[in-house]
Chains A and B, each alone.
Chain A
């Protein structure tokens, strides 16, 4: 029979919380890194230089054809070989997440930029703004507004995907729940609890994004 009680829950709470901190840190760091790299990739993809655009497109399409899990293992094995010493699951997972998410963010950003009609750019240039001013004052505000809900949805997906670091032994929320469940020989309530927490967090977040999207379209 299960030993799951309120006092038991209070006892394991610190471990679960520290796991959730790791999950949130991993999500935030991958989000920032993936966005930065994604912006660079998107700019390269719409470059007039065909070689540059092709290289960026190849990167994006290759990464999008691979399972995230394979990528996490790739870097789990590769990074220690490159730097010559063990770096731990967290670093290699973070590199994998950033490179992987960058491909998805690139496509979101590119779609956002291309959603701004060409006439807007022409009108900006015709009214005497420089190209940089047109970009900053006309294209980017509209593009950001168009892509924000999609970016937020992708951030929620990223939050869910970080559970995959379980396979390289990073102590995220799911791994913490699994470790406690194995230790106390009581996996069922721990996995149900983990599922419940993810469900509540992601449902609240995706409902907020849905509300934002409705009251918001241009």
Chain B
């Protein structure tokens, strides 16, 4: 194998800045999408456990729909199909009016997709709480909404925290799919610089190290948080 190593491309302008901006977009997409995934996922998890059959059925349909279409196909549906099937004014705004349209498309797509997985974890967390807790809450005069807000959800989050960490990391990794609709996030930048400089190995090693480092940092930080929030006496806090 003939390969001329040249690590200096890393520090050469403009490539150094490109990598940093790629990392920045990756992190921004992951954080923004996580806001959607977490809030909608919590709502979905609650909706899967309520009494009303209609609400449960709607939530179940959402889960099956978003879980069974590949993420890349969903990305194309949001980016290429949605602006065409909307009323013309709205479609044109999505295509030309909205600043950073590709970024927001990727955020919405990843958020709605990961909400399903967060929702399933929240549901598992709620269902793992002893039924007596909800009954006790209702008996002491709390409304059902208060029971969810003050008893079921806070306990569920503590139980499923490790699984939520996994889901956040999966959003972080899946944000690479944004490159297919033109967001130059970390993977996209890596590929671009590889083609420009013909030094792919250095670039991909760098990207690998950056993804690995962020994953490690998040995992370590969450490990400490989990240690503080874990229920005493619970051996396994992983809901499945």
Chain A residues engaging chain B, CB cutoff 8 angstroms: 62, 65-70, 73-74, 77-78, 81-82, 84, 160-161, 163-164, 166-167, 174, 178, 187-188, 191-192, 194-195, 198-199, 202-203, 206
Contacts and interface: CB of A to CB of B under 8 A. Distances in A.
Interface stretch (B12-20, B68-76, B130-138, B227-235): B68-76
A69 B200 contact: no
Contact of B1 (A65, A77, A82, A194): A82
Interface of B: 1-3, 64-65, 67-74, 76-77, 80-81, 84-85, 169, 173-177, 179-180, 186-187, 190-191, 194, 200-201, 204, 207-208, 211-212, 215-216
30 contacts: A62-B208, A67-B176, A67-B211, A68-B173, A69-B179, A70-B176, A70-B187, A70-B204, A70-B211, A73-B187, A73-B190, A73-B204, A77-B194, A77-B201, A78-B200, A81-B201, A84-B1, A160-B69, A163-B73, A166-B72, A166-B180, A174-B70, A174-B76, A191-B76, A191-B77, A191-B80, A191-B81, A192-B77, A195-B74, A203-B64
| Closest CB pairs A-B (n = 10) | A77-B200, A65-B215, A202-B68, A67-B176, A160-B70, A67-B173, A163-B70, A69-B176, A163-B72, A203-B68
Nearest to B180: A167
B152 to A, nearest CB: 25
A66 B175 CA distance: 11
Contacts of B169: 65
Contacts, number: 106
Decide if the interface of chain B is mainly helix, strand, loop or mixed. Answer: helix
Nearest to B174: A67
B69 A198 contact: yes
Nearest to B240: A150
A121 to B, nearest CB: 21
Nearest to A167: B180
Contacts of A69: 176-177, 179, 187
A101 to B, nearest CB: 15
A198 B70 contact: yes
Contacts of B68: 160, 198-199, 202-203, 206
